[in-house]
Amino acid sequence: MADGLFVALHRDWAMGLARGQGRAAAYPTDGAAWLLGLAAVSLLVGATLWLFCGYQAGFARFNEAAGLLPPWAWAMLTVLGDERVAFALALFAARRHPQIFWSLVCAGVVAAAYTHGLKPSFAALRPPAVLAAGDFNLIGPGPRQRSFPSGHTVTAAVFFGVLAYHARGWPWRLALIGVAVAAGMSRVAVGVHWPIDVAAGLFGGALAALAGIWLARRVTVGARDVSVHLALVTLASIMAAALLLWDGGYADAALMQRLIGWSALGYVFLVYLALPIAWSRRPS
């Protein structure tokens, strides 16, 4: 009986991937300009700040102005750049849009190489290591090392950038890119990154999103092979479960993180196990 159930589940998963490939054929193909535009603007802003104003330019003014919003708002924005949150949210695309899910995974690999390749090379100090504690607003933990580029910003730009690429209509694309930018700027608001770090994060994240989409279209194993797809879903589920165990130091966003974690895990259980099992037991 167990073997029969597994066969039924495997058949359902395979059919789901096949239907997902059918949907992928209808995805928009004109989203690259939006990500290239984000990368170009970010590069221009970052280079201008660095060349004419210095590495720490713009931090004091924006960090002070950010105090107009409550700390919980910035905490909730900043956790959108947490890799665990990105993986958890990606699960909502995994079943119906496996190609987008696979693009997010590929883009995440490219983004990790960009972020972890640059951070040790620059070894830039963060605001808590440079400024006195009372001279700026600090929300949440205060890491001191490896400031450039902002990893949270890269993650947000990758996640929302991939979604913006596949979105239909400019309002959705503008909104998704706006969220990525807001998540990046929240890193200045919470006091752990300089604006240039954020510009570099948006630049690298946008290009990583494009690279991931390009790679996912040419190496399609993650969107076609059931075993690989389920392994990635399992990995993302582990990351979602991690949201239930630690708030990343942002207590004001702990409830939101737990809601995302439980919702993502519940969705995976429903669409990968509960519903397929129920359908397999229906009288023929």
The reply to whether 16 falls in a domain is no
pLDDT tens string 93-122: 999 999 999 999 999 999 999 999 999 988
Identify the band that residue 279 occupies on the pLDDT scale cut at 50, 70 and 90: confident
At 131 the pLDDT is: 95
For a pLDDT cut of 70, what percent of the chain falls above it?
98
Residue 10: inside a domain: no
- The range of the structural domain enclosing residue 224 comes to 28-280
| Angle between helix 98-122 and helix 195-218 axes, rounded to 10 deg | 140
* Cβ atoms 82, 108 nearer than 8 A: no
Name which of 65, 148, 71, 157 is nearest 110 in CA terms.
157
Quickly count: other Cβ atoms within 10 Å of residue 55's Cβ: 17
Which CATH number goes with the domain that contains 109? 1.20.144
Instruction: Give percent of the chain above pLDDT 90.
Output: 89
Q: How far is CA 230 from CA 91, 233, 236, 278, in A?
A: 11, 5, 10, 19
Q: 98 lies in a domain?
A: yes
pLDDT of residue 1: 52
Q: Which residue has the tokens 């570099």?
A: 200
* Single-letter residue type at 273: L
- Of 110, 99, 107, give the one whose Cα is nearest residue 229: 99
* Exposure b/e, 110-145, CB count within 10 A at least 16 = b: bbbebbeebbeeeebbbbbebbeeeebbbbbeeeee
pTM given for the model: 0.95
Burial level of 87, CB count in 10 A (0-12/13-18/19+)? buried
Tokens standing for 43? 């590069």
Q: Is residue 177 part of a domain?
A: yes
Mean pLDDT, rounded, of the chain: 94
Residue 231 lies in a domain: yes
Q: What is the mean pLDDT of residues 71-92?
A: 98
Q: Considering the domain boundaries, does residue 65 fall inside one?
A: yes
Which of 213, 245, 181 is CA-nearest to residue 28? 213
Q: Give the Cα separation of 86 and 125 in Å (integer).
A: 26
Inform me whether the pLDDT recorded for 21 exceeds 60. yes
Does residue 53 form part of some domain? yes
Residue 276 lies in a domain: yes
Task: Using pLDDT thresholds of 50, 70 and 90, give the confidence band for residue 79.
Answer: very high
**What is the reported pLDDT for 10?**
87
Is pLDDT above 70 for 87? yes
Residue 21 tokens, joined? 């490939």
pLDDT of residue 8: 85
Number of domains in the chain: 1
CA angle 254, 194, 75 (to 5 degrees): 15
